[in-house]
Structure 1
Amino acid sequence: MANVFEFVAEARSTTGSSAAKVVRRQGKVPAVIYGGSGAPEMLVLDHNEVQKHLVHEAVYSHVLDIKVDGKTEKAVLKHIQRHPAKPQILHLDFMRVDASHKLKVHVPLHFINEAVSVGVKKGGVVNHSMVDVEVLCMPSALPEFIEVDMANVEVGSTLHLSDLVLPAGVEIPELHLGVEHDHPVVQITKPRASDESSEAAAG
């Protein structure tokens, strides 16, 4: 976790949709920080600075520094509300992080060796069922991403959550719910044209 992201914010006393619209017209983003031992606090951040941070994939799976009126709190980004038609951030939710307690965070999956995988070399097509996964760990163990090595995946094979190689101290809470929650992550399938050709030949 070499990257450090600092979000500079100001406390705001006004709430409600009308107040939020005023904040947005000023080039700001309304936000809230909650959790831990502190009460929820309404914030406002500079929209351009927020946009600069959000272009980095790592910001979504990092413990962030939220600096409010000179005081810094540790938090993770839990939710982003975006405008449906414009490149505008409408609202941010930050959740405070306690260094002594585990937290749940979605981290991205990085698929490696796809082009040289056994299945792709045989003409297979890679199909992703997930692009991120929720993990449970201590803040100090939070990974920036999880690698999924596709090198030895054959045509017709599927990797599930239980196949992911996790860093020390990291677990997938979904797997504690039973085998039916061992969801597929990625698979290599036969190309559709190949299937149709086989059916035509058989007919």
Structure 2
Amino acid sequence: MSEEMVLKIQERSDFGTRSSKRMRKAGQVPAVLSHKSDNPIHISISDHDFQMILNKGGRIINLEGAGNAFIKDVQWDHLGDKILHVDFTKVAKDEKLTMDVAIVLKGIPAGVREEGGTLDQFVQTLKVECLPTSIPESIEVDVTGVKLNAPLHLGDVPAIPGVTFLQEKELVLATVTEHRAEEIVEDEVSGSAEPEVIAKEKKEDSEDKK
């Protein structure tokens, strides 16, 4: 489960692109803390401290002076190097959250080991509902028993205490398919057809010599 961590915040009243640029140069990141029953609060956070929390897999953060908040969205620059903005959602310990959690497939399927198949993963994240204290960092799924042409469904995933899967049990997560060699079809060209040239005959008027 994800670890709850503390992050210092500072309320801000300056908005706009110029203000955000100045903030980032000073090592701060603009952010918003919202809740369904309250007006959003504009804050700034330490870029370094927040990235440390992200690297540790933090999902729920204790925003100093504001309570627990869920990291709803992180906006990165086009290179994926710098954080531009963060959206937090204020949560209570007894309030369930809905979020997407990454799936991690573990092991080598029987269909790959024994029958030379190829594992194809169709779903990368699962939508779940749980309390803030029960948020999984990822959902690990053991695929060692998956055989050739036998799809792995969401219903095959063992239940996680405190976590509810919100998608249908029939959802196909992965399958092992037969590895087929590519068939190379060569077009045979028999002979070369030369374009037919139709020449127009020119009739020359001949003069009868007497």
Q: Deviations over 1:146-200 (max 9, x none)?
A: 221101101222223333222123212233xxx7xx432222222242xx36x99
Please give the secondary structure, in 2, of the residue aligned with 1:162.
Answer: helix
Q: Are 1:88 and 2:85 counterparts?
A: no
1:54-203 equivalences in 2 (<5 Å): 54-56=54-56, 58-59=57-58, 62-67=59-64, 71-85=65-79, 87-113=81-107, 115=108, 117-121=109-113, 122-175=115-168, 182-193=170-181, 196=182
Match of 2:42 in 1: 42
Match of 2:203 in 1: none
For residues 127 and 135 of structure 1, what CA distance do their matches in structure 2 show? 22
Please give the secondary structure, in 1, of the residue aligned with 2:18.
Answer: helix
What do you get for the CA RMSD once the two structures are aligned? 2.3
Please give the secondary structure, in 1, of the residue aligned with 2:39.
Answer: coil
**Structure 2: segments with no counterpart, 5+ residues:** 186-210
The structure-2 alpha-carbon separation of the partners of 1:2 and 1:25, relative to structure 1 and needing over 3 Å to count, comes to: closer
Q: Deviations over 1:21-77 (max 9, x none)?
A: 221222211111111544311111121222222223x32xx322122xxx1511111
Q: What is the identity, as a one-letter code, of the residue corresponding to 1:188?
A: V
- Measure how far apart 1:2 and its partner are: 6.3
Q: Which runs of structure 1 show a deviation greater than 3 angstroms over 4 or more consecutive aligned residues?
A: none
- Measure how far apart 1:95 and its partner are: 0.8
Match of 2:199 in 1: none
For residues 183 and 103 of structure 1, what CA distance do their matches in structure 2 show? 21
**Structure 1: segments with no counterpart, 5+ residues:** none
Q: What TM-score, normalized to structure 2? A: 0.77
- Measure how far apart 1:94 and its partner are: 0.8
Q: What is the identity, as a one-letter code, of the residue corresponding to 1:74?
A: N
Taking every aligned residue pair, what percent have the same amino acid on both sides?
28
Q: What TM-score, normalized to structure 1? A: 0.79
Structure number with bigger Rg? 2
For residues 135 and 65 of structure 1, what CA distance do their matches in structure 2 show? 22
